[in-house]
Amino acid sequence: MPTITTNNGLKLPAIGFGTYQLKGALGVNAITSALNIGYRLLDTAFNYENEGTVGTAIKRSGIPREQIIISSKLPGRHHHYQEALETIQESLYRAGLDYYDLYLIHWPNPKRGLYLEAWQALITAQKMGLIREIGVSNFLPEHIDHLIEQTGITPAVNQIELHPYFSEKQLRKYDQQHHIVTWAWSPLGRANAVLKDPIIAGIAQDVNRSISQVILRWEIQIGVLPIPKSAHSIRQLENYQVFDFELSPAQVQTISNLDRADGRTQNQDPAEYEEF
């Protein structure tokens, strides 16, 4: 598995596994299956209410903790410094873990103006050894600039909505210039029309792969770390097998050209959208 190294030296596998909506016994089975297939990066969040499921799957898998990168996220309702610190600790108790490899601010909620305070709490939690690296999710350049100006600390990752219909060229460029690793959430567009796109289907036929594989491969080739979610082992395996073929520069460009301004899956513009 190729790796991507963060600005702090943490090695991340080039593909991760999303766990949104994977809960309870079925969730444990699905996540254990993903670990058995080979995924070594799991993405969860306090708000997914499944950190316990993730922690249980890790224990069941028998894979040593230190071989797995685990990422969780701070919800918008707990941006205040003290609450944020308590939430990170609660996140760890829920998962039965001693530390998270990464902890991200889930949404900036800029109208509330508290994300800097949340960032300061993440910095403290890192110093306390609760988190190895700190990052953000759904942050726009102006939000990240503010964090860097005020604290001098650059996020390790920025997890954003990214798929062929919304490919975030400018934000990717900003992240790259700041040595921030861009993660793609909903990398398969949450199974919307993109999985039936005729142009991607044509490329899939040419390279003898599925549409999902072509999309994930495109994300990897544009320098992004995708975290696809699937409850099904067969799809988990399909999504994982994207390192034994390559798209040509022309094929990459053809998919990049599908980008459109209104391509978000749920119209969640971080400048306006709030999540708590």
Ligand X SMILES: NC(=O)c1ccc[n+]([C@@H]2O[C@H](COP(=O)([O-])OP(=O)(O)OC[C@H]3O[C@@H](n4cnc5c(N)ncnc54)[C@H](OP(=O)(O)O)[C@@H]3O)[C@@H](O)[C@H]2O)c1
Considering the rule CB under 6 A, would residue 79 count as an interface residue with ligand X? no
Answer for which of 101, 133, 197, 238 binds ligand X (CB under 6 A) is: 238
Residue span binding ligand X (CB under 6 A) among the ranges 49-57, 95-103, 108-116, 187-195: 187-195
Helix then strand count (H, E) for the chain reads 10, 10
Residue span binding ligand X (CB under 6 A) among the ranges 12-20, 49-57, 145-153, 166-174: 12-20
Q: Compute, in degrees rounded to 10, the torsion defined by CA atoms 136, 274, 24, 54.
A: 0
Asked whether 2 and 243 are in contact (CB, 8 A), the reply is: yes
Q: Beta-strand (E) ranges in the chain?
A: 3-5, 11-13, 17-18, 41-43, 69-74, 100-105, 131-137, 157-161, 181-185, 225-226
Answer for which of 13, 15, 18, 105 binds ligand X (CB under 6 A) is: 18
Considering the rule CB under 6 A, would residue 71 count as an interface residue with ligand X? no
CA distance between the termini of the chain: 35
Please confirm, yes or no, whether 174 is among the known catalytic residues: no
Nearest C-alpha neighbor of 223 from the set 181, 160, 264, 170 = 181
Minimum gap (Å) between residue 138 Cβ and ligand X:
5
Asked whether 55 and 95 are in contact (CB, 8 A), the reply is: yes
Residue with tokens 């990049």: 256
Residue span binding ligand X (CB under 6 A) among the ranges 32-40, 84-92, 146-154, 230-238: 230-238
Minimum gap (Å) between residue 203 Cβ and ligand X:
16
* Cβ atoms within 10 Å, residue 36: 15
Positions 84 through 143 that interact with ligand X (CB under 6 A) = 106, 137-138
3-state SS, residue 96: coil
Minimum gap (Å) between residue 97 Cβ and ligand X:
17
Considering the rule CB under 6 A, would residue 196 count as an interface residue with ligand X? no
| DSSP code string of 65-82 | GGG-EEEEEE-GGG-SHH
Cβ nearer to ligand X, comparing 179 with 232: 232
Answer for which of 188, 200, 203, 242 binds ligand X (CB under 6 A) is: 188
Positions 139 through 168 that interact with ligand X (CB under 6 A) = 159
Cβ nearer to ligand X, comparing 20 with 81: 20
Residue span binding ligand X (CB under 6 A) among the ranges 3-11, 75-83, 142-150, 225-233: 225-233
Active site positions, annotated: 48
| Residues that bind ligand X in the complex, under the rule CB under 6 A | 18-20, 43, 106, 137-138, 159, 185-191, 195, 212, 227-232, 235, 238-239
